[in-house]
Structure 1
């Protein structure tokens, strides 16, 4: 079935089939790239709003009438992280119900609520912590944007390009974490450390622009619509939970470290807001840039292999971080932390690349056993989208764990982050073992399908 242009007054494309090489080269590629560009813009702004409190807490001090402790600041940082993780699953499902373009318009526009609330209340001396916790919770809507964006974009691209496309989409979104921290640094440098409202104010017009761009330039495609029970079917598949466990270690670490990095530097080394902001953007920036590289490497070497290497590197990097902490070496500590950010970015791309490859292999096996090709690969794409939503939600909870672990560690008698780092090191070792046992010991479990779906469907 050839894709048809949307009818007047509608933005739905029917019969979308990117695995058809002729369609992809003549029509599909341009449409997919256009939707990818504006999906990245929306997701980028969403990530910035989601992580904005990791910047705003750096301003909170007795000087502006907000004398919160380190433990209270970590709690404030955890709140949007938790809400964003919980929202990822319904956001992914919303795309299949309302369409990618339609949901992107809504999910972009709703970001005005947390940005406007933060802009007003963060300049009010004496505001109690519970109000900030509520406002931080509204910022969690920005975290949901990732799941809906990834579920939407995976539909536009053929399986052979999904590692690159998903990596670029996620990496561009992840850059929002670094961008909001750069905005915070500029505000501190220009207006001083007593004007946090400017950080939120910058994003108000950008949110409006993102919603307008989605309305004008994005499309809905009928193939993104999931049949009832897709999430239930995905939840019954063992690969959903193995991938989720790995994604806790990659994306959970990336977003958790992004939210916590500035507070860790303030607590560990007594940094001022300007000093902390001067370093915090670098890790998320490099981690975001590394994500497409992880997808690109996985397209060529296999997602499981790259993921295993990544967790090995995360284990070594965490050990180096513990060593730098023991020696009180600021240079070593920052270098090791930035290396962790880069590795989490690579791992984010490689882990997500594993999802379509696993289900494409399952579809090929189903066809080999006599199954109907079109139905088998349609099911594979449907399950891939559902697993992306589930793994994205569970993986984001890893960021909550990172921040709670740091909060508990710095709240102890030693007032050090070492006990949290030991927990992280153990988890990375577990992920190395899981990746090897489930996906590398049997190379067929994760290997890409031998033939593109287009070839199978034409056979």
Structure 2
């Protein structure tokens, strides 16, 4: 294991040790970083990592708010805008799709530009969709224009991937579940915050431009604070080979499938909840705004809890039971939707939001654990194993995050088709129930099922057969 570094945010006081990244100028670069070393971690690592985590949460929080801003703007768009419910579901689907696609390049931008530098750039880019929405948000604007401007908001969805990749490199494996959960949860909470802001604006009689004007200075503040107080990690080099290796690994695609079920549910329901309340239950924009923030708020707050539970009990176990609870809850939603029971529908939908947030934390904790276990299976130990795990888990997070967010696209399209075909969201919930059942099966079969003992192979006394794959 490498010796503890005395590097500060501005760089080491002397020549970097052998094997360290070359000194770079013009930014806040840390040349060596070994969070798995307990001495280094206690001396300087923890303090630096937590400072970067705090500012990463702020930037990602604003990014999520801008990305999901159209989930509340559509509540302002009454009959005078000339849009049907199907048009609105299509609009939010396009916004979600672009945000999902942006996550792939954003993941690798951290290694190209540095975590701090890219946070500054990505935060500044949020000015574009916010300003554009301010310019076009009025009756008489064409649906095509709304679609184009909505696509710009997708850059806010990309912030999640770069933020998670960056924070993944700062923390040791034993604390990744908590750190990644807190980072993502703080970002996710941008969804209910912008919905609460919309509630305040609607309640005060203001229009959508008032809401957008509030966020413009917040975007600038996030970029400035990142520039002043965040750090780049020089050892996180641009490594296209890591992306290729991650794409070839089956676990990347399995985890992407599971993340569709957790984060895809969270972001999809966040975009769709208010529209479902308006379309199926006849709620006014103000009524919908009073209710839509509750689910995303709980889902965001419990995401770190899911990560912490996964740290203690194993991400696969928590994920399995969480999907089982999501399936049961969705079954109740089918009943509530069929019976048109507004009170039951809202209450159970909020529970489903909370479960999706819990599952977000547990599934993301599984990713570094899987690749760390793979490093051990290859005979790697110590810092070499840690580097291998960080390399592949960081690269895979972009793909997993992007594909997971596509679940949000699927949810909005499913609701759109369900309302077109049946006049309610019941058909969509039946489809979601089937998907959660598939997620339960995959989680158990890949990460928890114990393989049968082969004939003629004795198991040593006191030992059970190990799982076929890493139990993470």
Q: Which band: TM-score by shorter chain?
A: over 0.9
**TM-score w.r.t. structure 1 length?**
0.94
Partner of residue 348, structure 1: 360
Q: Gaps (5+ residues) in structure 1?
A: 449-459
Distance in 2 of aligned mates of 1:205 and 1:377: 40
* Matching of residue 120 in structure 1 with residue 135 in structure 2: yes
Partner of residue 15, structure 2: none
Residues 157-207 of structure 1: per-residue CA shift (max 9 Å, x gap): 000000000000000000000011001100000025xx1111111100000
Distance in 2 of aligned mates of 1:432 and 1:158: 29
Q: Indicate conservation of the 8 Å contact 2:372/2:386, yes or no.
A: yes
- 1:373 positional shift: 4.5
Residues 381-433 of structure 1: per-residue CA shift (max 9 Å, x gap): 10000111110000000000000000011112x21111111110000000000
* Matching of residue 215 in structure 1 with residue 232 in structure 2: no
Residues 235-290 of structure 1: per-residue CA shift (max 9 Å, x gap): 11111011000000000000000000000000111111000101000000000001
Residues 84-105 of structure 1: per-residue CA shift (max 9 Å, x gap): 0001010001111111000000
* Matching of residue 87 in structure 1 with residue 102 in structure 2: yes
Residues 104-136 of structure 1: per-residue CA shift (max 9 Å, x gap): 0000000001001111211x3200000010000
Residues 16-58 of structure 1: per-residue CA shift (max 9 Å, x gap): 0000000000100000000000000000000000000000000
Partner of residue 470, structure 2: 446
User: What is the root-mean-square deviation in Å for CA atoms of aligned residues?
Assistant: 1.2
Size of the alignment, in residue pairs?
A: 439
Distance in 2 of aligned mates of 1:446 and 1:418: 37
Q: Indicate conservation of the 8 Å contact 2:372/2:388, yes or no.
A: no
Aligned counterpart for 1:162 among listed residues 176, 182, 187? 176
Distance in 2 of aligned mates of 1:405 and 1:187: 30
Distance in 2 of aligned mates of 1:266 and 1:228: 46
* Matching of residue 109 in structure 1 with residue 124 in structure 2: yes
Distance in 2 of aligned mates of 1:265 and 1:38: 35
- Give matches, 1:310-329, under 5 Å: 310-329=322-341
Distance in 1 of aligned mates of 2:470 and 2:347: 33
Higher helix share: 1
Distance in 2 of aligned mates of 1:281 and 1:67: 26
Aligned counterpart for 1:422 among listed residues 421, 430, 433? 430
Secondary structure of 2:52's counterpart equals helix
**TM-score w.r.t. structure 2 length?**
0.91
Partner of residue 30, structure 2: 13
* Matching of residue 262 in structure 1 with residue 274 in structure 2: yes
Distance in 1 of aligned mates of 2:278 and 2:237: 46
* Matching of residue 55 in structure 1 with residue 64 in structure 2: no
Q: Indicate conservation of the 8 Å contact 1:265/1:271, yes or no.
A: yes
Secondary structure of 2:60's counterpart equals helix
Distance in 1 of aligned mates of 2:381 and 2:427: 53
* Matching of residue 151 in structure 1 with residue 165 in structure 2: yes
Q: Gaps (5+ residues) in structure 2?
A: 12-24, 451-465
Partner of residue 310, structure 2: 298
Structure 1 runs of 4+ aligned residues shifted over 2 Å read 1-10, 371-377, 442-448
Aligned counterpart for 1:436 among listed residues 444, 463, 467? 444
- 1:378 positional shift: 1.1
Q: Indicate conservation of the 8 Å contact 1:119/1:199, yes or no.
A: no
Q: Indicate conservation of the 8 Å contact 1:76/1:136, yes or no.
A: yes
Distance in 2 of aligned mates of 1:377 and 1:390: 21
Q: Indicate conservation of the 8 Å contact 2:36/2:383, yes or no.
A: no
Secondary structure of 2:378's counterpart equals helix
Q: Indicate conservation of the 8 Å contact 1:177/1:285, yes or no.
A: yes
